[in-house]
Amino acid sequence: MLPLPALHVEPSVLLLWMDLVGIFIFGLTGGTLAVRHKLDIFGVLVLAMACALAGGVVRDLMIGAVPPATFRDERYLWSALLSGVAAFFGHRWIERVSRPVMVLDAAGLGIFAVAGCQKALAYGLAPLPAALLAVVTAIGGGMLRDVLVSEVPRVLREEIYAVAALLAAVVVIAGTRFGLPELPVAVAGALAAFVLRLVSVWRNWSAPRAPWS
């Protein structure tokens, strides 16, 4: 039996730019964290690119968009590379923001969750698989970033993380079902995830645990 051919769906302009912005933001978090751990410029670039690209590559492989967009459009690689350079030379300005890695991470989380969900829906996935893929897209790079510097991934800590990505996916799926314009839905989804993530840190919210655990 011959394998099924890969399905190719041209990304919308909005999806492309959300991917590129998300890549740059997540790359900044990886690069800034690398600078904090006193890695050299090669280490900063590696961590920035790994953090920026891992989630999208996993997403594309899981939906059959091969080769992944990262390797078909060099703008993805340039965005990740530039984010590492920006973190290496501009970390002093980035660090002036209160808890910069967390804030940037929250922004990237929302953008990647929306982009992941939109692309999954464009490839014909049902709402539940699309939502799960949105979460994978959003948390993949951050998990790899934290593991590479020997930190417990944020998604496994007590703070709300994956739930925020899931909220963004729910907003996108609901907006698509009701036929709402793509841009406002995307902005609303990314903003919902961003706000929930920041508020959860500020209020020290955590995901529920098993009773008497």
Contact 102, 32 (CB under 8 A): no
CA distance 197 to 86: 24
The DSSP bridge partners found for residue 206 are 159
Confidence at 90, pLDDT banded by 50, 70, 90: very high
- Residue 133 tokens read as 């893929």
Give the HSE-up count for residue 203: Cα atoms under 13 Å, Cβ half-sphere: 10
* pLDDT at residue 8 tops 80: no
pLDDT tens digits, residue range 27-67? 999 999 999 999 999 999 999 999 999 999 999 999 998 99
- Residue 52 tokens read as 């920026």
Best CA proximity match to 79, nearest among 28, 20, 22, 32 = 20
Give the burial class of 5: count Cβ atoms within 10 A of its Cβ; 0-12 exposed, 13-18 middle, 19 or more buried.
exposed
Report CA 161 to chain centroid distance, whole Å: 11
As a whole number, the mean pLDDT across the chain is: 88
Confidence at 3, pLDDT banded by 50, 70, 90: very low
pLDDT at 102: 83
pLDDT above 70 covers a percentage of the chain that reads 90
pLDDT at 5: 46
pLDDT tens digits, residue range 184-201? 999 999 999 999 999 988
pLDDT at 154: 78
Contact 109, 189 (CB under 8 A): no
| pTM higher than the cut 0.75 | yes
pLDDT tens digits, residue range 144-171? 999 999 988 878 775 688 899 999 999 9
pLDDT at 188: 97
Residue 103: Cβ within 10 Å count: 18
If you ran DSSP here, which 8-state letter would residue 67 be given? S
